[in-house]
Amino acid sequence: MKIVGAEYTGNGHCRFTVWAPEKERMVLHLVQPEDRLVEMDRATWGYFTVELDNLYPGARYFYRPEGEKDYPDPASYYQPEGVHGPSEVIDHASHLWRDTSWQNLPLQDLVLYELHVGTFTPEGTFEAIIPRLEELKETGINALELMPVAQFPGDRNWGYDGTYPYAVQQSYGGPEGLKKLVDACHAQGIAVFLDVVYNHLGPEGNYLEQYGPYFTDKYKTPWGKAINFDGPYSDGVREYFSNNPLYWLEHYHLDGLRLDAIHMIFDQSATSIWELMRSKVQDITQQMHRPFYLIAESNLNAPRVVQKTELGGYGFDAQWLDDFHHALYVLLDKAGLKFYEDYGKMEQLAKAFAEGFVHSGEFVKFRKRTFGASSAGVPGDCFVAFTQNHDQVGNRIEGERLTQLVGFERLKLAAAALLVSPYIPMLFMGEEYGEEAPFLYFVSHSDKELVKAVQKGRKEEFANYKWEGDPPDPQAEQTFKKSKLNWEQRGQGKHALLRDWYQALIGLRRREPALSNYNKADVQVQTLGQEGLVLLRQDRIDDQEVLCLFNFSEQTIPFSMPQSSTTWHKLLYSKDQQWLEQEGAEAAPAEETLTAGQHIELPALAVLLYSNYTSM
């Protein structure tokens, strides 16, 4: 592995390496603790190197391609003065890790929790998250998924405008802050995933083209120039990005990555970037004797994303399942049909439960073509399902969460549908207690023309997607502040009740063998017209079955229990007194046990879970 950046090896020794294949000269410009210029040696494959003694962590520097103008290190590990300032030498070995016994968690056991560092706490830092870990763990959450923390312009951003894939955002607490958070998470038994962006880099502070052909005009993305993974001089680019997962594993002890929009990464090489990345990850995880997971965001609806590379697949461990969200959301909020015109049928939710992809070769109006392939044979633990995430919330014009869109009973339905699904569940920060603050799109660029372009582009994007009105100004600090969580809500009234509902569902998922079985052959689904749905989860090893009855309508639905010799025992019921929002409201009764063929009335907006035996 070719290590780029400023590698501090101890005792005042530092090796600087930068890739610039078309440059004849490279000068290292040290600006702190003293100002001096050092000529670098041109090595093979377009790399320049120099080794210095009597140089210690905290030293700051630029590079001068062809000896002309200062630019930050493309592989900077830290940008303490922002995207335009000097890079800083850091000592990764100086952190005293306490997680030496940590072995990561099985992918199948994860309950993911996506969070944005800047809005999760008033302080907006890594260390400010640590005091809240215990409450998250009590709820049943055992894996954080951090939105991107690679250095971005200013101090507020979703993170997808990052320009330094190896540097940790300085306003969040920099490298040491992230390491402290990971250490604290592991001490609590919580895994840590990081969202990374390999399909483009943000415009402000993006100086990669000053060094080499990192980008290509051969392909296009909606957000900026496409990365050059298969053109001239692409070897150095492939090395730069394929080594990045190893960096996060080795130096930050992360447990996995979520890769943003992989469908916007283009590569026609004989050995794809995915094969290269997977091969490197396998090598290092075998050496370290613990797994490291790669999860893809993909809108391809293609099973090959999670197929092994040796079979022609991309080799990801799992991928996000947007179809599950879309199929469920429009049944909870009828207004959603305006934006998700290809959804709205109960059969589609049934298909999402049983197979995964809803669109698997059918004609899709939104795409104006047939789209997708069947995922019926793909195991459930190859998918991450959710009812909310940063995109589904933040790309609404007012950033409304599901809490603002539907009532309390529908929130309980959404939580139950997610947590009894045969997929790895992911919550969006605050979802578990019904956070009411919006999650809006925000930036803090210093380039005035870029700010205008972002404001204009945001308005045009919403106009194209049939939204009415103008979105809040993404550059305004108030837009960012409005998006911060009101953490104190989680212990109050209906918010505490919803939190307890999530906790109960996660507890059931862990206790009941049928609910932790990812074999889709053991999933059966039946629709009850366009009003409800019956989901049967089975575990053949323990001979257990869990029957999940959903009524998404405002009318009662008659139902007859399956014909078998089974006696069904109630596990959880959303209309029991303890789960009612209004104190003193009258509960709709449900039998504690039911027998084969017995007729029941499923109340409006209710979910009822039964098991053929109890594991309590």
- 179: which 2 tokens? 């390491």
CA distances from 146 to 149, 244, 256, 285, 431 (A): 8, 16, 11, 21, 15
Alpha-carbon distance of 307 to 317, in angstroms, equals 8
The residues, any chain, with a CB within 8 Å of residue 168's CB and separated by 6 or more, are 77, 78, 149, 150, 151, 174, 175, 177, 178
On whether 259 is known to bind a ligand per the annotation, the reply is yes
On whether 263 is known to bind a ligand per the annotation, the reply is yes
Alpha-carbon distance of 66 to 209, in angstroms, equals 13
Burial 147-182 (b: 16+ CB within 10 A, else e): bbbbbbbbebbbbbbbbbbbbbbbbbbbbebbbbbb
CB atoms within 10 A of CB 95: 18
> Active site residue: 260, 409, 431, 545, which one?
260
- 599: which 2 tokens? 């007729």
- Cα end-to-end distance, the chain, whole Å: 51
On whether 208 is known to bind a ligand per the annotation, the reply is no
Q: Tell me the residue type at 348.
A: Q
The residues, any chain, with a CB within 8 Å of residue 207's CB and separated by 6 or more, are 71, 72, 74, 163
Is residue 297 part of the annotated active site? The answer reads yes
Is residue 183 part of the annotated active site? The answer reads no
On whether 260 is known to bind a ligand per the annotation, the reply is yes
- Is the distance from CB of 464 to CB of 548 less than 8 angstroms? no
On whether 599 is known to bind a ligand per the annotation, the reply is no
CA distances from 476 to 247, 441, 598 (A): 34, 10, 59
On whether 324 is known to bind a ligand per the annotation, the reply is yes
On whether 395 is known to bind a ligand per the annotation, the reply is yes
On whether 390 is known to bind a ligand per the annotation, the reply is yes
On whether 326 is known to bind a ligand per the annotation, the reply is yes
On whether 258 is known to bind a ligand per the annotation, the reply is yes
On whether 498 is known to bind a ligand per the annotation, the reply is no
> Active site residue: 297, 333, 409, 431, which one?
297
On whether 64 is known to bind a ligand per the annotation, the reply is no
* DSSP 8-state symbol, 312: T
Binding site members for substrate: 258-263, 322-326, 390-395
Binding site members: 258-263, 322-326, 390-395
Residues with catalytic function: 260, 297
